Every structure is written in C-alpha cells, then in structure tokens.
Amino acid sequence: MASILSILASPYGAASRGATLAAQAAANLQAADPSLALVERDLSTLARSVIPSSYADAVLARQPSEHAAFDLSETLIREVEDAAFITIATPMHNYTVPASLKLWIDLVLRHSRSFAPVNGVKTGLLGDRPVLVVVTSGGAVTGKEAGQPDHLTGYLTDVLSTIGISDVRFIYLEGLVNPVQAGIAMAAGARAMLQDPVFAGRQGGESAMAHAVNG
Ligand SMILES: Cc1cc2nc3c(=O)[nH]c(=O)nc-3n(C[C@H](O)[C@H](O)[C@H](O)COP(=O)(O)O)c2cc1C
C-alpha cells in the first residue's frame, strides 16, 4: 500500500507549526486518494542519540544491510522507499537542520544502500517522489529581510538529491518569533501549499499510482 511519510523534526513534534501545515498537506493527499496510509516519523525520539561507533564501523566496513548495526537505518530507509509522498516539517536551528534531522540524514544516506558512486559521482538508489519541506524559523530566512545565512535549503536539497529525490518544494513559515508575523506567515504558507498541484491534493491519485507502478 502506498504511503505518505511525515517526518517531524521539531522538538515540539506534531504540535509544531510546521507540522500543522504538513498535516494539512497529508490530509489533502488522502482526500484525493483515501488508500494512502499516513506513516509518522517523529524525530524527537532520536534527538537524544548520536551515531554509535558500531554504525560507523559497519558503514566504513561496507557491511551488508542485514548487519544488526543497520537495523534503525534500514527501518528509516524502508519508510522512504514505501512512501509515495514525503513531508518534512523542520525548524531552522542555527542556520541549518536540527540535530535530530541530521541524525536521520546520517542513518538514511548509506553507501551502497541509498546511494552509490557512478563514475565517481554519488548517485541515488531510491526512486524520486514528491517531497514537501516546511521550514519554520524565528527570524526571516528568505528575501531582503533575511539577516542570517540559510544553510538548510541547499543542504537538504543536496541530501535528498544524493538518494535520488529531486522533486522537492520548500515552504517557509518565517518570522515566527513575532506573533503578528506568525499569523501572516501561517496564512501565506497555507496559500502557497494550495498553489502546489501535488500537495494541494490535485494530483494525489496520479502520483500514488505512478509510485505504485514505478516503485
Ligand atoms: C536551538 C535553536 C536554534 C534556533 N536557530 C534559529 C536560527 O538559526 N534562525 C531562526 O530564524 N530561528 C532559529 N530558531 C527558532 C526556531 O526556528 C523556531 O522557534 C521554530 O522554527 C518554531 O517553529 P515550530 O513551531 O515549527 O517548532 C532556533 C530555535 C532553537 C530552539
């Protein structure tokens, strides 16, 4: 059964403002295709971990996927493989992704499993699928008002591209530290999502069908 993978990277999990918009995108997709299951991966449960040396050893020794050190990595990679659509609700933490999302990245980008070099270039082994990234930030991140660097957008784009995913769009809920601006940002974010043919739910059935056929 095709699924929507909802990755929640905020310390506030499903209560975060980014997660609210991502949940609306998932509801749109399910309205268009009720057969889609929702798989929620709340990364706040990973937040207190670090990559263990057993995982680093197994990666560097190119151990097979069945190796016990890869259990969590395999679970996370399979969630991506099974997803027809993915939403990632992530806050910006010090200009980039929060540590929990970085941990997810370190477990999902695995040599010879989710990517492999082809002619010296890291090439994705997972199929492409639509991804919506909802970025929440206390200050402005885009446009002339942005008084800070953005190492999140380019980084996450490169990370997803490494595993084979390039159908990615970003929605920014910025300036959330200011309650008035927060209301404006949430309304603008909801409008931006409705402009997106996939996550507004208008192409849900077709995309899920394409995923089921192409893997
Ligand atoms: C450790 C930490 C680092 C943060 N770094 C930034 C930052 O670099 N830029 C920024 O605009 N906001 C920063 N913030 C504010 C968060 O991005 C903001 O509180 C969050 O996105 C709120 O969204 P949410 O409701 O989805 O969690 C930071 C917050 C925390 C806790």
Count of the separate structural domains present in the chain: 1
Q: How far is the CA of 126 from the centre of ligand 1 (A)?
A: 30
- A 10 A CB-CB count for 177 gives 10
- Ligand 1 atom 3, closest CA: 93
Instruction: Give the ligand 1 atom nearest the CA of 11.
Output: 27
Instruction: Give the ligand 1 atom nearest the CA of 96.
Output: 8
Q: Which of 145, 172, 144, 143 is nearest to 156 (CA)?
A: 172
In tens digits, what is the pLDDT along the chain, a chain of 215 residues? 799 999 999 999 999 999 999 999 999 999 999 999 999 999 988 877 788 899 999 999 999 999 999 999 999 999 999 999 999 999 999 999 999 999 999 999 999 999 999 999 999 999 999 999 999 999 999 999 899 999 999 999 999 999 999 999 999 999 999 999 999 999 999 999 999 999 999 764 454 444 444 44
Cβ atoms of 11 and 90 within 8 Å: the answer is no
Whole-angstrom distance, CA of residue 171 vs CA of residue 212: 27
Cβ atoms of 132 and 196 within 8 Å: the answer is yes
Q: Which of 179, 202, 200, 198 is nearest to 83 (CA)?
A: 198
Tokens of 62: 């190119």
Domain region containing 208: 3-214
Q: What angle do CA 93, 186, 34 make, to 5 degrees?
A: 100
User: What CATH code is carried by the domain that includes residue 143?
Assistant: 3.40.50.360
Whole-angstrom distance, CA of residue 167 vs CA of residue 194: 17
